[in-house]
Amino acid sequence: MIVQFIFAALSAVGFAYIFNVKEKIVWAAAFIGGVAWIFYLISMKFGMSLGVSFFILGAICTFGSEIIARIFKTPVTSALIPTITPIVPGSGAYYTMFYLFNGQHDLAMQKAMDTFVMTGSMILGFLVASDLVKLYIKIKNKKKF
């Protein structure tokens, strides 16, 4: 699990440098990406479905990116992009096309549905976590006044 954490974090670092993310954000985003991957592994080990696991991943990445954005006073997307790179279901899209081109339509359909569930669940996790943070900030600001 530690090796997978390290490689997930390093993939986040690589994409942070590709997208020219500020140096101070890179390692924090890498840590959040690694932690999210560990949560994915744990959720799969506990027998959660693929959709629930990716929902949790999306929420963790968004919460972590929101925290990074507040600490370093940067836009959330500059932290979110490298954070989510270890979990993007790119292999699902690749294998969907691979099976289609090889005439294995049943496997292609199954892989496409899995990829769709992973992506949709991850986006739903982003939305829910982002809205919860916005709601918290709104309530916090109302208490000030």
Q: Report pTM.
A: 0.88
pLDDT at 144 over 80: no
Question: What pLDDT shows up at residue 1?
Answer: 87
pLDDT at 143 over 90: no
**Going by C-beta distance under 8 Å and a sequence separation of 6 or more, which residues neighbour residue 100?**
108
Question: What pLDDT shows up at residue 88?
Answer: 86
Range of the structural domain that residue 17 is part of:
2-144
Distance CA 128, CA 23 (A): 28
Q: What is the mean pLDDT of the chain?
A: 93
The burial of 39, by beta-carbon neighbours within 10 Å (0-12 exposed, 13-18 middle, 19 or more buried), is given as middle
Measured in degrees and rounded to the nearest 5, phi and psi for residue 108 equal -65, -45
DSSP 66-109: HHHHHHHT--HHHHHHHHHGGG--HHHHHHHHHHHHTT-HHHHH
Tens digits of per-residue pLDDT, 33-70?
A: 999 999 999 999 999 999 999 999 999 999 999 999 99
Domain count, the chain: 1
**Going by C-beta distance under 8 Å and a sequence separation of 6 or more, which residues neighbour residue 47?**
none
User: What CA dihedral angle connects 14, 21, 82 and 7, to 10 degrees?
Assistant: 30
